[in-house]
Amino acid sequence: MEGYTDVLSAQALPPGALQSVHAGGELVLIANLDGEIHAIGATCTHEQEDLADGEIEDGCVVCPMHFARFSLETGDVIEGPATKPEPVYDVRVEGGRIFVGPRRR
Amino acid sequence: MRSVAIIGASVAGVAAAKALRAGGYDGDLHLISAEQELPYDRPPLSKGYLLGQQSEDDILLARREDYAELRIHLHLGAPAQVLERGAVWLAGGERIRFERALLATGSRLRRLDVPGGDLSGIHYLRTLQDARALRAALGEAERIAVVGGGFIGLEVAAAARQSGKETLVLEAMQAPLRRVLPPQAARAIAALHERHGVHLVVQAQVVAFEGDGHVRSVLLANGSRFPCDAAVIGVGALPNDGLLGGNGQGVLVDKHLRTAAEGIYAAGDVARFPYRGMAVRIEHWDIARATGEYAARAMLGDTAPYDASPFLWSDQYDVTFQYFGHGDPSDDIVVRGDPATQNFIAFFLREGAIAAAFTAGRPRDALPLRRLVDQAAVIDPRALQSEDVSLRRLSRGE
Ligand SMILES: Cc1cc2nc3c(=O)[nH]c(=O)nc-3n(C[C@H](O)[C@H](O)[C@H](O)COP(=O)(O)OP(=O)(O)OC[C@H]3O[C@@H](n4cnc5c(N)ncnc54)[C@H](O)[C@@H]3O)c2cc1C
């Protein structure tokens, strides 16, 4: 899997959990949304808060600082104060490990 | 519904306009602003923008092309002057008809009416125009006097210190923020500023500014005099409620954010809304956004009552404070953590239930705290105090 970084054991990320990891020089948020793994930027585009300190709600990650919401699927801002979307990364689960790939958008 | 006019194009007004379109509203949409600038966000004016870390482009609430895309008629520099049933008159003489209107005129600053109050070098901070002037003054001045130790005054003081200025904060009460915060938290904030080299003077009543055209010193009632070459006044705000004949108390709305005037809603700083048996007017960004969006949904037929808890944040130096709910410093206060380390939570308990929480340095607890306040949870104070008890679990009833 060229271009993919092994970041985390899948077991370490139960449903509802968030974790920020380094991959390809970026801080990436890995989220377990009801068993599906997503990867978007981990730094809130509003004031650089670590989104891993937030929570998953309705398919979004909610920033703990000012409660901006980003879609885990598309990285889009669903609710302010942030105005810029998060990047979205390819992510794969293989052999019980989570791998982060290239940026999708 | 074929026409909506939103009066005031700031946090509440822009949120409402976007929410109307997001909710499928397809009719005419007028967004009316007294200001000349494209609508921008206010909190950065005392933070990133003032420090030069954010540009004017960075703080826009929406880009120019977004308004075209959303088919929002933006009327800039056109204060509404008369609001009547079904129509609003703008300063230029234009009359805009509407089926529904939203009053989102926000608040304006209280002026400090003392001799010398109009010397040059004396600043207020509410608008982008104010912030441009203050940012320029921070570049030139050496000694800054901040009058009023509220959140905005303290943020300006932090920015002044971070720009290497000699900074004085003059506060009328026995500690900054003492009207809103319990003593432990107010003391912690005062200590934070003193540690950063702010000269804090409490029980200070400013009676005059002195200077030769430009401000040179500020005089207190007790006769003390402090030199300064710029002053920033932050002594509270008043609602812009005149269009509906308000008396400075804000515009009273019901739980659907409807005013007494037919077809007219109010949101943001100008609105006084029902919250847990009180009628409150609270000047927080998040309430402006939430009530703006809510009013849009109510216009589109949503009948759920507005019942979100207030939320405020403030950034000072590298510390972010968060405040959930609506507490009173006379509530029972229970503290988790150590205020002196800027890592703590102060719970406000009223009849045993969590009415509010003020916190710093604990981002992981933020969403749980918000839930606990929303629930008005009743929890053993010992559990609230103990670091061994997870707030996330408490907030989920576990
Ligand atoms: C410097 C600063 C820092 C802040 N920091 C924070 C913070 O960190 N956290 C937080 O929670 N809150 C903060 N706030 C408060 C927050 O910005 C306000 O609660 C919020 O802006 C209120 O939004 P609003 O849309 O109700 O009204 P406003 O932002 O007051 O805007 C109202 C708009 O309506 C316009 N208007 C008034 N009358 C008319 C008329 N007749 N016709 C047309 N237009 C009219 C005004 O010119 C203005 O543009 C801060 C405020 C300031 C000034």
Residues of A in contact with B40 (CB under 8 A): none
Selecting from B289, B322, B367 the residue whose C-beta is nearest the C-beta of A80 gives: B289
Q: Is the pLDDT of residue B243 over 90?
A: yes
Selecting from A65, A80, A81 the residue whose C-beta is nearest the C-beta of B366 gives: A65
pLDDT at A80: 75
Residues of B in contact with A64 (CB under 8 A): 363-364, 366-367
Task: Answer yes or no: is B308 within a domain.
Answer: no
Which pair of structure tokens corresponds to residue B332?
């029972």
Q: Is B124 helix (H, G, I), strand (E, B) or coil?
A: strand
Q: Is the pLDDT of residue B330 over 90?
A: no
pLDDT at B118: 95
pLDDT at B260: 96
- Residues B204 and B245 both lie in one domain: no
- Residues B332 and B371 both lie in one domain: yes
Question: Between chains, do A55 and B367 touch, taking CB under 8 Å as contact?
Answer: yes
Q: Is the pLDDT of residue B277 over 90?
A: no
Q: For residue range B145-202, list pLDDT tens digits in order.
A: 999 999 999 999 999 999 999 999 999 999 999 888 988 899 999 999 999 999 999 9
* Cis ω before A81 (30° cut-off from 0): yes
Planar angle of CA B248, B252, B254, nearest 5 degrees: 170
How far, in Å, CA of B15 to CA of B28, rounded?
16
Domains of chain A, each with CATH number or no CATH: 5-103 (2.102.10.10)
- Residues B272 and B221 both lie in one domain: no
Task: Answer yes or no: is B191 within a domain.
Answer: yes
pLDDT at A46: 87
pLDDT at B78: 97
Task: Answer yes or no: is B19 within a domain.
Answer: yes
Selecting from B15, B48, B364 the residue whose C-beta is nearest the C-beta of A64 gives: B364
B105 CA from centroid of ligand 1 (Å): 8
Of the residues B249, B267, B299, the one at which a domain ends: B299
Q: For residue range A43-57, list pLDDT tens digits in order.
A: 999 888 899 999 999
Atom 16 of ligand 1, nearest CA residue: B285
Q: What is the mean pLDDT of chain B?
A: 95
| Structural domain that includes position B33 | 3-108+237-299
pLDDT at A47: 81
Q: Is the pLDDT of residue B122 over 90?
A: yes
The enclosing domain of B356 has a CATH number of 3.30.390.30
User: What does the pLDDT average to over B104-124?
Assistant: 97
Residues of A in contact with B311 (CB under 8 A): 67
Our answer on whether the CB atom of B268 is closer than 6 Å to any ligand 1 atom is: yes
CA of A23 to nearest chain B CA: how many angstroms apart?
Answer: 23
pLDDT at B395: 93
pLDDT at B30: 98
CA of A94 to nearest chain B CA: how many angstroms apart?
Answer: 30
Torsion, Cα B54 B215 B152 B274, to 10 degrees, reads -130
User: What does the pLDDT average to over B342-356?
Assistant: 95
Q: Is the pLDDT of residue B382 over 80?
A: yes
Q: Is the pLDDT of residue A34 over 80?
A: yes
pLDDT at B397: 84
Task: Answer yes or no: is B123 within a domain.
Answer: yes
Task: Answer yes or no: is B313 within a domain.
Answer: no
- Which residue intervals of chain B are DSSP H helices? 11-22, 64-69, 128-140, 151-162, 183-195, 285-299, 366-375, 381-385, 391-395
The answer to whether ipTM exceeds 0.95 is no
A97 CA from centroid of ligand 1 (Å): 48
The pTM (predicted TM-score) of the whole model is 0.91
Percent of chain B past pLDDT 90, that is, above it, reads 89
B178 CA from centroid of ligand 1 (Å): 23
- Residues B95 and B57 both lie in one domain: yes
Chain B positions touching chain A (beta carbons under 8 Å): 15, 41, 43, 48, 60-62, 285-286, 289, 311, 313, 315, 320, 322, 363-364, 366-367, 370
Q: Is the pLDDT of residue B104 over 80?
A: yes
Q: Is the pLDDT of residue B234 over 90?
A: yes
| Largest pairwise CA distance in chain B | 66
CA of A78 to nearest chain B CA: how many angstroms apart?
Answer: 11
pLDDT at B245: 87
